[in-house]
Amino acid sequence: MAATLSRVGNIAAKLLKSHVYISNQCRFIGDSWINGSCIDPTLGLSDEQKQIQKVAIDFARNEMYPNMARWDQEEIFPLDVLQKAAGLGFGAVYCREKYGGTGLSRMDASIIFEALSQGCTSTTAYISIHNMCVWMIDEFGNDELRQKWIPQLATMEKLASYCLTEPDHGSDAANLTTSAKQKGDHFIINGAKAFISGGQDTDMNLVMCRTGEKGPKGISCILVEKGSPGLSFGKKEKKIGWNSQPTRAVIFDNCKVPVSNLVGQLGDGFKIAMRGLNGGRVNIASCSLGAAQSSLELARDHVKVRKQFGKHLEHFQHLQFKLAEMATKLVVSRNMVRMAATALDKNWPEKVSLCSMAKYFATEECFKICNQALQIHGGYGYLKDYAVQQYMRDSRVHEILEGTNEIMRVLISRDLLEDRKYS
């Protein structure tokens, strides 16, 4: 009795912390049965990785999960929670400590994003994009840019956006047309970028611009600060998911930016954009893993309480087999994502295709898992009172962005069919 009371008191305290408590969400991320099960995300991790994962899971279940439905329905970009997450080191996970990053590996980052996205996939996906941008400054920026930007990006006092896609150039990014012409010590940028995560609400944009010849070699990466003359934004897009982060077009009308804001060298932009995306693909695939993990947990809990035809759903073999397939595909996806993360950490030459495989496979399979979990919930799954639909909506876009899954197939087939280039 006393044990139960203190447990209730303790849970009440944890709930007080988050202020908002949605009645149907009476389960906990990382619930008792996950530990030691075949879908336990800690399997195969080192003690230190488990510690890192535990902090991320605790953060997800206390600070994010109780709010995710509200953030979605009221389209709230939760800056306070982003900064709180950054306070623990989630703002610049795989940047060097020298300039303010956390100095962890891509594998660690994947573990973190997977854990956080169980609390809110959309919000974590933005954190992962922010991380990608900070890494691009850390890896390709000069010391001046690093010193100016990384410390405030790592704390998420300042936020970053990645601007590659244009209204007419999505998959065909190498032929983008937004132009930057050098005039004295400034670039004058003209053009527009589409579907920009965080657009207008962020403080800096990493913009891929044409500064030279046609094709990928004429592209440069330029940092455009919020408030630059000639910079404006489109309307906030209405989306199926990813509602806790704004998406807008970013418009450049004779936008004036100092030449010192060039990231890397002139003509390096496409390479920088693609190098950033390798990590971005592992990150976004990790977010899909978290969504699928949570959805599968919810489906499993549902079949244990829902009765039809006089017995619990868990006793129907169709659903047993369905859950087994979902669990297997989740674990296979996780293995693929972690292998790609290892490829980046070890700088394997096959990293581009492995990251593409991870992104294509994990985002597709995990979306299916979320969708099947919704199906198992029946009519309830279609209600916004149940979290499973949000994981499904939020993870759908992972098949489209950071390079569509069709482009992932292009990259993988190219690796198979073309003569290998040794560089």
Partner 1 sequence: MSALRVLVGCKRVIDYAVRVRVKPDKTGVFTDGVKHSMNPFDEIAMEEAIRMKEKKLASEIIVVSCGPIQCQETLRTALAMGGDRAIHVQVDGKEYEGLQPFHVSKILAKIAQEEKVDLLILGKQAIDDDCNQTGQMTAAILDWPQATFASKVEIDNGSLKVLREIDGGLENIKVKLPAVVTTDLRLNEPRYATLPNIMKAKKKPLTTKKPSDYAVDISPRQEVLSVEDPPVREAGQKVESVEQLVQKLRDAGLIVS
Residues of the shown chain interacting with partner 1 in the complex, contacts defined by CB under 8 A = 1-4, 6-7, 9-11, 13-14, 17, 28, 30-32, 34-36, 47-48, 50-52, 54-55, 58-59, 61, 87-90, 93, 97, 102-104
Smaller CB separation from partner 1, 89 or 269: 89
Tally of CA atoms within 13 A in the half-sphere of 278 that contains its CB: 25
Q: 37: which 2 tokens? A: 């099960």
Q: Which is nearer to partner 1, 63 or 394 (CB)?
A: 63
Integer Cα distance of 67 and 34 in angstroms:
22
For residues 129 and 280, the answer to whether their CB atoms sit within 8 Å is yes
Residue among 6 and 171 whose Cβ is closer to partner 1 = 6
CB neighbours of residue 140 within 10 Å: 21
**CB closer to partner 1 out of 17 and 384:** 17
At its nearest, how many Å lie between partner 1 and the CB of residue 352? 28
In DSSP terms, 220 is beta-bridged to 209
Beta bridge partners of 258: 186
- For partner 1, the closer of residues 8 and 240 by Cβ is 8
Q: Least distance (Å) from partner 1 to the CB of residue 88?
A: 5
* Residue 151: CB minimum distance to partner 1, A: 14
- 204 strand-pairing partners: 160, 225
Least Å from the CB of residue 32 to partner 1: 4
Contact between 224 and 196 (Cβ < 8 Å): no
Q: How far is the CB of 418 from partner 1 (least distance, A)?
A: 40
Question: Minimum distance between the CB of residue 119 and partner 1, rounded to whole angstroms?
Answer: 13
| CB closer to partner 1, 283 vs 395 | 283
Instruction: Tell how strand 160-163 and strand 204-210 pair up.
Output: parallel
Nearest Cα to Cα of residue 105 among 266, 284, 338, 316: 338
The set of catalytic residues is 402
Residue 91 or 234 with smaller CB distance to partner 1: 91
Smallest distance from partner 1 to CB 318, Å: 27
